[in-house]
Amino acid sequence: MQVTTRVFDLPLRHPFTISRGTVRVQRTWIVELEEDGLVGRGEATVNPYYNATVEGMEKALGAVMEDLVLGKLEHPAEWWQRLDDRLKHYRFAQSAIDCALWDLWGQRFGQPTWKAMGIDSCHGPMSCYTIGIDTPEMMVEKLRQMPGWPVYKVKVGTPSDQEVLALLRRETDRPFRVDANCGWSPGKVRETIEGLLPMGVELVEQPVAPDLADCLAQIKVDSPLPLMADESCEEESDVDRCADRFHAINIKLVKCGGLTPGLRMARRAKELGLRVMVGCMTESSVGISAAAQLLGLLDFADLDGAVLLAEDIAKGVQVDFGRVVFPDKPGLGIEMLPCDSI
């Protein structure tokens, strides 16, 4: 295989703020694997919280470059296992490589990747649209610019959360999901959830930091709203640990290492009675097209990452006001758009 990488800066429509920081331009790393005229692509974004840097991802790729260059396309799960010892500390890079291999695999057999993975259908839930933390007035404006989505995810974790949700509720009757990104204190979780009930909230994502999540075991027993793990569920080994603290998990491919472990996580979660979401970072349609391949296994979807961009670098799976639309192409269905890398 021939291996190339490109780096892009993705400008956002609006500054995107969660409880631990703000992003205005998202840097992203694209891997391209070419064999016999077919090109598979994968994406991983730069993320300080997970210590994911372009330099680190290039280093990780370098550790497996010889295998990829000298190897032939085999089942991506076999590649994942073979390279895991060298990539297990670089899950973001591992994810991009794994997704590129799945893209190639689907193209080789003339099938969309979800079918090549053994998933029965590409049909599943509609995606939410995410409203990042901002002034209350600006958060209302963000919703007004995207009316008619089936559900809105609202980033929370500030003293003005209740005010913001009340203002947003005046604008729409659609359900809300709130995501604290670890921003709540353990002693306030139950009280805060009770305050959300009149706001039409349907679930609460990652209320506290992973090292404080033991407090959720008792809260889960009688919580009036489902609790979903995000930062508490990074890799496969985390799924079982989430079962007694959360009602659902959010799988992000870059955190777990790609579609190969993501598929296993979704199936294991179902065995444990957990509901499943696949989420995304603020990323291009390359990454969104990969994550969407799991749609047929999901209860919830958060695939709006490319919608948050001012300009995309690719076409592929599209999210049209919540509806996930697959292109009629094999693999991930990605087509790169003319744009300059950095």
Query: What three-state secondary structure class fits 263?
Result: helix
Give me the mean pLDDT over the 50-60 stretch.
Answer: 97
- Structure tokens belonging to residue 310: 């001012």
Q: What is the pLDDT of residue 175?
A: 97
- Domain with 210, as residue range(s), is 129-336
Same domain, 147 and 86: no
Confidence (pLDDT) at 152: 98
75-90: pLDDT as tens digits? 999 999 999 999 999 9
Please tell me whether residues 137 and 265 are part of one structural domain.
Answer: yes
- 201-205: strand order across its sheet: 129-131, 152-155, 176-179, 201-205, 227-229, 248-251, 275-278, 300-301
Do 79 and 218 reside in the same domain of the chain?
A: no
Model confidence pLDDT, tens digit, residues 157-181: 998 999 999 999 999 999 999 999 9
Domain contains 315: yes
Average pLDDT of 239-268?
98
20 pLDDT higher than 90: no
Residue 122 lies in a domain: no
**Which of 50, 76, 111 delimits the end of a domain?**
111
Banded model confidence at residue 264, pLDDT cuts 50, 70, 90? very high
Is 99 in the same domain as 191? no
Local confidence band at 342 (pLDDT 50, 70, 90 cut-offs): confident
- Are residues 106 and 134 both part of a single domain? no
**Measured between alpha carbons, how far is residue 178 from residues 133, 172, 332 in Å?**
11, 15, 30
- Whether residues 168 and 302 share a domain: the answer is yes
Number of independent structural domains in the chain:
2
Mean pLDDT, residues 213-225: 96
In a domain, 121, yes or no: no
**3-state SS track over 104-169:** HHHHHCCCEHHHHCCCCCCCCCCECEEECCCCHHHHHHHHHHCCCCCCEEEECCCCCHHHHHHHHH
pLDDT of residue 19: 82
> How far apart (Å, rounded) are the C-alpha atoms in residues 95 and 117?
16
Task: Give the Cα separation of 226 and 214 in Å (integer).
Answer: 16
292 lies in a domain?
Answer: yes
What is the reported pTM?
Answer: 0.96
> Are the C-beta atoms of 100 and 31 separated by less than 8 Å?
yes
In the predicted structure, residue 118 carries a pLDDT above the cut 90: yes
Backbone CA torsion sign across 119, 124, 125, 129? positive
Same domain, 101 and 145: no
For residue 105, what pLDDT band results from cuts at 50, 70 and 90? very high
Residue 340 confidence (pLDDT)? 86
Confirm if 235 and 255 have CB atoms less than 8 A apart: yes
pLDDT tens for residues 231-252? 999 999 999 999 999 999 999 9
Using DSSP, state whether 235 is helix, strand or coil.
Answer: coil
pLDDT tens sequence across 295-318? 999 999 999 999 999 999 999 999
- Whichever domain contains 106, its CATH number is 3.30.390.10
Q: Which residues pair with 177 in a beta bridge?
A: 153, 203
Tokens 């209320």, located at residue: 207
Q: What is the pLDDT of residue 48?
A: 94
For the chain, the average pLDDT equals: 96
What pLDDT score was predicted for residue 237? 96
Same domain assignment for residues 312 and 236: yes
CA angle, 103 as apex, 91 and 257 as ends, to 5°?
Answer: 10
